Structure 1
Amino acid sequence: MIGITITRTKSGLIQSFEISGHALFADRGKDIVCAGVSAVSVGAINAVHELTGITPDLEHRADGFLRCVVPEELPENTNEKIQLILEAMAVSLRSIEEQYGKHIQITFKKQEVE
């Protein structure tokens, strides 16, 4: 199963997300759940960079692990753009979860302190 954790700040902004595991929906190279999650998450990271010039703090491993952390203290208009992109990512991932819930689980966490 693919596990996704989306962490929000106390005020509700997406601060980071982490993806790990494998969907095991189909054989490697034919797994549409894995492909969908990869396309949505990597597409969001690419959009953040392309549309705002900001490169989030990233960790990516060959085993499918991906962690993305939004930099702190960004200009308000830049942060608004990033949040819109990441919220769209979250909507897309929830859509995949609704359809393929046996293969993907999303957890939302909220930080206690900002």
Structure 2
Amino acid sequence: MIEVKFREDDYGNLISFEVTGHAGYGVHGEDIICAAVSVLAIETVNSVERLAGYQMLVDEADAKGGYLYAEIRTDTEAEQQYITQILLKHLFYSLEDVAQTYPDYVSIKMQ
């Protein structure tokens, strides 16, 4: 199962997310759920860089896959934070939709 944990600050702003595990829905390399979650998570990190103009703090397990951690930087300007929140909330809602469609394969938690 893929587990996604979002962390928020005291004001309800998303500050990080962590994706772990594999869905096990299909064979390795052809698992549509793993692919969907991976694309959403990775493209969110890429979009923050392109649209908000900074790189998130990222840790990933390239060799094994199945792990991605991304955290916003605290030294960003208000507009960068605003853009980042839109992108992270889009990620949250998109993954929530995937989890509702495939509840046996994806779990979303807010910390």
TM-score bracket, shorter-length normalisation: over 0.9
AA in 1 matched with 2:104:
K
The alignment's C-alpha RMSD in Å is 0.8
Q: Identity of counterpart residues, as a percentage? A: 27
> What's 2:110 paired with?
108
Instruction: Give the TM-score taking structure 1 as reference length.
Output: 0.93
> What's 2:6 paired with?
6
Matches of 1:71 and 1:51, distance apart in 2: 15
> What's 1:65 paired with?
67
Residues 3 and 21, structure 2, Cα contact 8 Å, conserved in 1: yes
Cα deviation, residue 2, structure 1: 0.4
> What's 2:31 paired with?
31
Cα deviation, residue 108, structure 1: 0.3
Matches of 1:37 and 1:73, distance apart in 2: 28
How many pairs align? 109
* Relative contact order higher in (CA < 8 Å, ≥ 6 apart): 1
> What's 2:92 paired with?
90
AA in 2 matched with 1:77:
E
Q: Give secondary structure in 2 for the equivalent of 1:101.
A: coil
Matches of 1:79 and 1:53, distance apart in 2: 10
Q: Which runs of 5+ in 2 are unaligned?
A: none
Instruction: Give the TM-score taking structure 2 as reference length.
Output: 0.95
